[in-house]
Structure 1
Amino acid sequence: MLFHTELTPDSLPVPIRLTDRIVTIGSCFADVMGRQLTDHKIQVLTNPFGTVFNPISIAKLLTMALRGTKPDESLYVERDGIWFHYDFHSSLWARSRAELCERLTERLATTADALRRADWLLLTLGTAVVYRHIQTGQVVANCHKVPGSQFEKYLYQIDHLRDELLKLFKLLRRANPKLQVLLTVSPVRHTRDTLPLNQVSKSTLRVISHELTIWNDWVHYFPSYEIMVDDLRDYRFYEADLIHPNTLAQNYIFEKFAQCAFDDELRGFVTEWASIRKALAHRPLYGDTSAHRAFLNSLLKRLDTLRDLVNVDAERAVVLEQLVLSAPVQKDESRQTNSAQ
């Protein structure tokens, strides 16, 4: 008897390898995927602009980075002595406009360099609903808690969304001909838009994603949204806010991702690394025994076998420190003899 419909995504025609470099951009699910990949020792630049939900802002930021243009001067905003920029997430802020400009310009340059060297761009689209700053007439990535009366909220027209992403993809292809793009629609529910509008928004993004994969053999799709709403399909897989997938759901989706996206070597490494991470978290039940020291030495050897593949210096340092702390205390026999006399 089946109690749910399991979704097993098709394997990507070009698998992700352990040595590949990845950039994630987009909604908060791009942060989740970035953290998961980083935890498994894959080289990732995770959401360098902070959370960006809509495709218009994503396209604008990546275009700005690749063309080397500076942030729009008309979109700086000051609130309570802190400076923000409407095109960037609120995690990017400064005490002065000049300081923020320098920080954002540096972040754009870093992202451009990463994109030109990357093997993969993981693009997570969150919503087709946008906020337009009325004074400048521009769509913004973040309102920074400025009064809502200064913005117009609406569903972006599907043809315009498609056009903006097509222009972005052409630019990406020119900047990095080897780049593979993996699209996904975020499984995070935008309930503030109302459930009906959230569904229209997600459907719009899904249609565009489908078309882009049909027209470009270097653009692929991973069904994180479909796994969440059809495979898992239960509120027990959400956080208490009933909006964000919980840790169990995130891990399940990542497992599905690894199955369809990773090559055999990377899948084998992920399995081995999961075992090593579990061993690193182990604490001895009976203190620093000889058995625990043998366990640590065995763990150190396992880490050493991976040194040619990934950087394990931090993990080795932890194990070596534990070995030092667990070393048996050597008794000074001559001092004991003198004391007895």
Structure 2
Amino acid sequence: MANSPYSKLPPQAFWRQGVVQRHENAIHELYTPKFPIRKSDRFVTAGSCFAQHIGRSLKEEGFNVVDEEPFPQRGLKAIPVETRRALGFDLYSARYGNIYTSRQLLQLDKEAHGDLELTDPIWEKDATYFDSQRPNIDIAGFELAETVRENRKHHLDCVRQAFSKADIFVFTFGLTETWAHRASGEVYPVAPGVIAGTHDDETYTFKNLGYSDVLSDFLEFRERMMSRNPEVRFLVTVSPVPLTATMSGQHVEIATVRSKSILRAVCAELYDSFENVDYFPSYEMTTSQKNQGGAFASNLRTVKPSAVELVMNSFLKAHGYNSELTIEGGVSSPGLAEDHDMDSEDDLVCEEMLLDGFGSQ
């Protein structure tokens, strides 16, 4: 045994010591940062619904989170934060809403920098018009299609400004399943017909991105970002939230494992290949067998606030910030089992959640 290559490994290399015997609050041991971060670094955040937790936590701890598309006060009375978020403000570094897939992220960057003009930018419903790329932002829609175009032009200006300022670009991979425009290949954050627009098999098609798709999308996005800012660094994560519904033809639990496995494998490839890409294991911290399922509410999908607290505090602790961050709606407790339960989604703005309603029809 003394000559075994395993004899000099640290405790975290072994399941019994690294998992079974690990204290329930010691999940920070799962993460060793590749590069340091400072509160003065300019963070640009994007990704799936779970990414909203990361942006909020960084803001609460005083990190320099870029917001190039804030709520326009202009003398108005203070608007409740819940209202602002429902309108797409205060969620990310621009008002793009949730970016669930790598294809959606790359597409947005191309459009913002004039390298892509969308074929299908406007959806209609009940004589009102919606931005097809963020139909949940203005849920009531607009009376004129031209208003949608004007708002999107302003939004793309904000995206371009936000992306150009990133010292650290934070992206949470959420899904591989998406809907695409058949002729152009453009993708959407939600299927046509869920919020606005009309589903048509001749116009739209379901797309389930594979490993090579996701990897090539992010590699191209990374190259584009670095061409404008060679010093930018990337922090990637995988959302632990399961799929609400699947069009894959498989059981939703199998489809979830497929999707998350692909996304996690892509993150591993990026982490192994590039010094300026770090991976934060929020997925593993949340789904760990050590938690015995205690990180999720009774719907087995919503991540409990106390679990988010543990995850984000572990991130801050790993970077040398001894925080006792409290997530909205949660309680500061040492363990997951003591947290209150929830039967519905928390206060995240999440279009995918709307798919749950179709399961009861």
TM-score (norm 2): 0.67
1:221 to 272, 279, 301: 279
Aligned-pair identity (%): 23
1:10/1:106 Cα in 2 relative to 1: closer, same or farther (>3 Å)? same
1:128-277 matches, cutoff 5 A:
128-134=176-182, 137-143=185-191, 145=194, 146-150=197-201, 151-193=204-246, 194-230=252-288, 233-260=291-318, 262=319, 264=320, 267=321, 270=323
1:89/1:39 Cα in 2 relative to 1: closer, same or farther (>3 Å)? farther
Q: Unaligned 5+ residue runs, structure 2?
A: 1-19, 68-90, 247-251, 327-361
CA distance in 2, matches of 1:187, 1:226: 8
Instruction: Tell me if structure 1 keeps the 8 A contact 2:119–2:184.
Output: no
Name 1:86's counterpart in structure 2: 132
Instruction: Tell me if structure 2 keeps the 8 A contact 1:22–1:43.
Output: yes
Instruction: Tell me if structure 2 keeps the 8 A contact 1:30–1:123.
Output: yes
2:62 to 27, 41, 46: 41
CA distance in 1, matches of 2:135, 2:57: 21
1:74/1:191 Cα in 2 relative to 1: closer, same or farther (>3 Å)? closer
Instruction: Tell me if structure 2 keeps the 8 A contact 1:115–1:176.
Output: no
Name 2:53's counterpart in structure 1: 32
Instruction: Tell me if structure 2 keeps the 8 A contact 1:4–1:232.
Output: no
Instruction: Tell me if structure 2 keeps the 8 A contact 1:4–1:231.
Output: no
1:111-130 matches, cutoff 5 A:
111-130=159-178
1:41/1:180 Cα in 2 relative to 1: closer, same or farther (>3 Å)? same
Q: Structure 1 residue 172: deviation in Å?
A: 0.5
Q: Structure 1 residue 2: deviation in Å?
A: 4.1
Q: Structure 1 residue 162: deviation in Å?
A: 1.4
Mean CA deviation greater in 113-122 or 230-239: 230-239
Instruction: Tell me if structure 1 keeps the 8 A contact 2:48–2:174.
Output: yes
Q: Structure 1 residue 104: deviation in Å?
A: 1.8
CA distance in 1, matches of 2:240, 2:270: 19
CA distance in 2, matches of 1:94, 1:259: 45
Question: Which structure has the bigger radius of gyration?
Answer: 1
Q: Structure 1 residue 226: deviation in Å?
A: 0.7
Q: Tell me if 1:15 matches 2:73.
A: no
CA distance in 2, matches of 1:13, 1:164: 23
1:218/1:89 Cα in 2 relative to 1: closer, same or farther (>3 Å)? farther
Q: Structure 1 residue 182: deviation in Å?
A: 0.4
- Residue deviations 1:132-177 (CA, integer Å, cap 9, x gap): 2346543222225145554432421221221121111100001111
Q: Structure 1 residue 59: deviation in Å?
A: 1.3
The one-letter code sitting in structure 1 at the alignment partner of 2:159 is T
Q: Unaligned 5+ residue runs, structure 1?
A: 276-341
CA distance in 1, matches of 2:147, 2:312: 37
CA distance in 1, matches of 2:270, 2:63: 26
2:103 to 46, 52, 56: 56
Instruction: Tell me if structure 1 keeps the 8 A contact 2:110–2:116.
Output: no
The one-letter code sitting in structure 2 at the alignment partner of 1:57 is Q
- Residue deviations 1:273-330 (CA, integer Å, cap 9, x gap): x69xxxxxxxxxxxxxxxxxxxxxxxxxxxxxxxxxxxxxxxxxxxxxxxxxxxxxxx
Q: Tell me if 1:102 matches 2:150.
A: yes
Instruction: Tell me if structure 1 keeps the 8 A contact 2:48–2:98.
Output: yes
Name 2:74's counterpart in structure 1: none
The one-letter code sitting in structure 2 at the alignment partner of 1:155 is N
How many correspondences in the alignment?
268
Instruction: Tell me if structure 2 keeps the 8 A contact 1:119–1:178.
Output: yes
RMSD: 2.6
| Higher helix proportion | 1
1:259/1:110 Cα in 2 relative to 1: closer, same or farther (>3 Å)? same
Q: Tell me if 1:77 matches 2:77.
A: no
Instruction: Tell me if structure 2 keeps the 8 A contact 1:70–1:105.
Output: no
